[in-house]
Amino acid sequence: MREKVSRRSPFSIDVVLVAAIRGQLAALLSRSADGREKWMIPWGTPKPGEGLEGAALRIAQEAVGSIPVWIELSAAFGEGHRHPSDAEISVAYTGVVPAGSSLPAGSQHTWFPISELPAMSTRKRAIIDSALGTMRSRMDQVPIAFRLLPASFTLSELQQVYELLLGKKLHKASFRRALQAAFLVEATEEWRGEGRGRPAQLYRYAPRKKRRLVRGVRFDLLQP
């Protein structure tokens, strides 16, 4: 069976952009074209000769003005749940944006803390949830936490990001001991004081190639 169809791209790419803003994980949403208060996940279609990940990076850049420092495939949906573009299939990527990058002026995009996302379809919600799940499951293998922070940060800020990603509180002394043993950060000469307490020293991400032996198997993570 043949029929006339416009040669529209039959699939779309959604990009869930995540940042750490004011002590919370936040996702970027764009106001939908019609005037109503509806929000959508930034999306687009690949240009000719552009890879899928390349398209995701471009879409991200158009939204936040800079290229995400990390991006990864997180979900794919087929027909049955139609995309706004009416595409038959959509591929979702998760991108991480460092804190401090600001949206272009007059942007149609807004950062929403993930605990205060606006109402949206279950499919959009599933894409965002899977994006967060992808991030959380990768943070052990990829230095995502450092990507969420600006180039220099305090150790308390780093710990906060880890706590956001892990969804639990960490022990301060243990956190710092483990961090020091891993040679992942190096201190700068700068200090930053904000508000009450003692100023904190700033650090930067500076991993050393010194490979430590990785111990054991983590059966505890397998608990049902």
Partner DNA sequence: TCAATAGTGTCTGTTAGACATTATGGA
Partner DNA sequence: TCCATAATGTCTAACAGACACTATTGA
- Interface with DNA (CB under 7 A), residue from 5, 105, 181, 221: 181
| Closest to DNA by CB, 107 or 152 | 152
Give least dist CB 199 to DNA, A.
5
**Whole-Å CA distances, 196 to 74, 152, 193, 200:** 41, 21, 8, 11
Angle at 180 between CA 175 and CA 181, to 5 degrees: 100
Name the phi and psi angles at 199, rounded to 5.
Answer: -65, 155
Give least dist CB 203 to a second copy, A.
14
Q: Strand, coil or helix: what is 19?
A: strand
Q: Does 48 bind a second copy (CB under 8 A)?
A: yes
Binding marks (x or -) toward DNA, 182..201, rule CB under 7 A?
---------x-x-xxxxxxx
Indicate the burial class of 204 (C-beta count within 10 angstroms; 0-12, 13-18, 19 or more). Answer: middle
| Residue 66: contacted member of DNA, a second copy, none (CB under 5 to 8 Å, by partner type) | none
Helices (H), 14-154: 52-64, 122-138, 144-147
Contact 30, 39 (CB under 8 A): yes
Stretch that binds DNA, among 82-90, 105-113, 118-126, 153-161 (CB under 7 A): 153-161
- Binders of a second copy among residues 121 to 160 (CB under 8 A) are 137-138, 140-143
- Interface with DNA (CB under 7 A), residue from 1, 105, 119, 173: 173
CA atoms of 60 and 16, how far apart (whole Å): 9
- Binders of a second copy among residues 26 to 45 (CB under 8 A) are none
| Closest to DNA by CB, 24 or 108 | 24
The string over 132-145, giving b where at least 16 C-beta atoms fall within 10 Å of a residue's C-beta and e elsewhere, is: bebbeebbeeeebb
Quote the DSSP letter at residue 222: G
**Which amino acid is it at 7?**
R
Q: Does 216 bind a second copy (CB under 8 A)?
A: yes
- Binders of a second copy among residues 161 to 180 (CB under 8 A) are 162, 166, 170, 174-175, 178-179
- Partnered with residue 190 across adjacent β-strands are none
- Interface with DNA (CB under 7 A), residue from 171, 206, 207, 208: 171
Residues found near a second copy in the complex (CB under 8 A): 1-7, 10-11, 46, 48-52, 55, 73, 75-80, 88-89, 91, 137-138, 140-143, 162, 166, 170, 174-175, 178-179, 181-182, 184, 207-224
